[in-house]
Amino acid sequence: MPNTKSKCRHCGAELHHTLVDLGSSPLCNSLLDDATLQKGEAFYPLHVRVCGGCFLAQLDEFVSPADIFSEYSYFSSFSESFVAHARRYAEMAISRFGLTGTSKVVEVASNDGYLLQHFAARSIPVLGIEPALNVAEEARRKGVPTISHFLGAATGMSIRNEHGPADLVAANNVLAHTPHLNEFVTGLRHLLRETGVVTVEFPHLVRLIEDNLFDTIYHEHFSYFSFYAVERVFATNGLRIFDVETVDTHGGSLRIYAECASTARHAEDPRVQEMRRAEQAFGIDKLDTYSRYTQQVEKTKRDLLETLIRLRNAGKRIVGYGVPGKGNTLLNYCGIRSDFLEYMVDRNPYKQGKFTPGTRIPIYPPERIHETRPDFILVMPWNIKAEVMEQLAAVRGWGAKFIVPLPAVKILD
């Protein structure tokens, strides 16, 4: 039955069309400890709908951002490849936009300073905006000035008035995290100097569909963006996109470059028109494109479970590496618990000694793998599988193999 109560968070149209329904899951980063392990957990629907007007894919808001992000278990600096990605971005931005010691760089959702540290090292003034208090404190320990706020239209103007306008505003993997989308994008515009530039990175909806990356769907991600949809959102809120490029983070993302529409200093790069044409050919504005996705997801679930069942029936020991938010979507949707995975490991000390939400699998430091010598390791952060396999190169000594669940189930030596 269509849900006539849900409305698009951008254009307000009623939502009647489904991209995929993954059932119900707990909040993906709500790790359990010994005390909460004895209590019940709240599960919320993971039903992504598509707006028939602006084609924004989205979840309903069941939990407020304050409940999710005031304390957070994700620290960007634990991914070496992501820190390297941030360094390359900083070098590019400094060169392309002529940033100097008199410029100002602001990052929204700045996490633990993984990005801004590269600008600060070049003596460029920076300011981080990070709502998670525990993560913001880690950034400050690194010498990255950070304030703890959620961005909206009013807070954007307030921060600008107190700290000055920004020549560059970066917002990486945060656009999906705001249920108040128009307010957030207006806040980005308010942070900017009239001649400034904002860059935003987000997973590309086309890649999510084409490569079957359904594990990137979780309650922290309120929206899932195509270039088609994001261009309309930005235009509505006074920002003009003048360039776009693809980047390889999170299975395939877009980085857009925008400026105040009232200024329009930059010529539109040919890549913008190329992206429009590519998405048009994909069928981004055709509802049939979205309605076929459920079949892909269900097949992947069956393939992964068949692999795990076959290995466990053969007496093989399997553990999981990494506890990213998307990993918990995969575990809960597929019903993978400790009967399949003996335990999980993660490099982040914040997660060690806890249990995965919903599936309640214990989490240990990575050294546990070398102590117990499992036969197979399920790589949850499949998007950095090369980094993970390099970190665990020693497991080849006893013949362990890796299982990569997405985009398609594979076993790698």
pLDDT average, residue stretch 78-105? 91
DSSP state for residue 168 in the 8-state scheme? E
pLDDT average, residue stretch 287-291? 95
Higher pLDDT, 100 or 64: 100
Question: Do the domain assignments include residue 252?
Answer: yes
How far, in Å, CA of 362 to CA of 83, rounded?
27
At residue 74, the pLDDT reads 57
Question: Do the domain assignments include residue 242?
Answer: yes
pLDDT tier at 73, thresholds 50, 70, 90: low
pLDDT tier at 212, thresholds 50, 70, 90: very high
At residue 139, the pLDDT reads 87
At residue 131, the pLDDT reads 87
Domain C-terminal end among 272, 291, 310: 291
Shared domain check, 208 and 65 = yes
Percentage of residues in the chain with pLDDT exceeding 70? Answer: 95
Q: Are 20 and 293 in contact (CB under 8 A)?
A: yes
Is pLDDT of 230 > 60?
yes
Give the model confidence (pLDDT) of 305-328 as tens digits: 999 999 999 999 999 999 998 999
At residue 3, the pLDDT reads 43
Domain C-terminal end among 291, 313, 328: 291
Shared domain check, 215 and 259 = yes
Question: Do the domain assignments include residue 133?
Answer: no
The predicted model scores a pTM of: 0.87
Shared domain check, 325 and 402 = yes
Q: Residue 79 is encoded by which pair of tokens?
A: 């991914």
Is pLDDT of 10 > 60?
yes
Shared domain check, 321 and 394 = yes
Higher pLDDT, 84 or 67: 84
Say which range, 4-13, 286-295, 307-316, 330-339, has the weakest mean pLDDT: 4-13
pLDDT average, residue stretch 121-135? 92
Is pLDDT of 1 > 50?
no
Question: Do the domain assignments include residue 253?
Answer: yes
Residue whose tokens read 């990605």: 85
HSE-up of 89 (CA within 13 Å, CB side)?
Answer: 29
Question: Do the domain assignments include residue 250?
Answer: yes
Domain that holds residue 314: 295-412
Higher pLDDT, 64 or 269: 269
* Alpha-carbon dihedral angle through residues 389, 392, 397, 402, given to the nearest 10 degrees: -50
Shared domain check, 398 and 327 = yes
Shared domain check, 275 and 310 = no
Q: Tell me the C-alpha to C-alpha distance, in Å, between residue 221 and each of 136, 154, 179, 369.
A: 20, 23, 9, 31
Shared domain check, 390 and 333 = yes
pLDDT average, residue stretch 43-57? 96
Percentage of residues in the chain with pLDDT exceeding 90? Answer: 83
Closest residue by Cα to residue 126 from 160, 157, 166, 154: 166
At residue 132, the pLDDT reads 85
Shared domain check, 231 and 306 = no
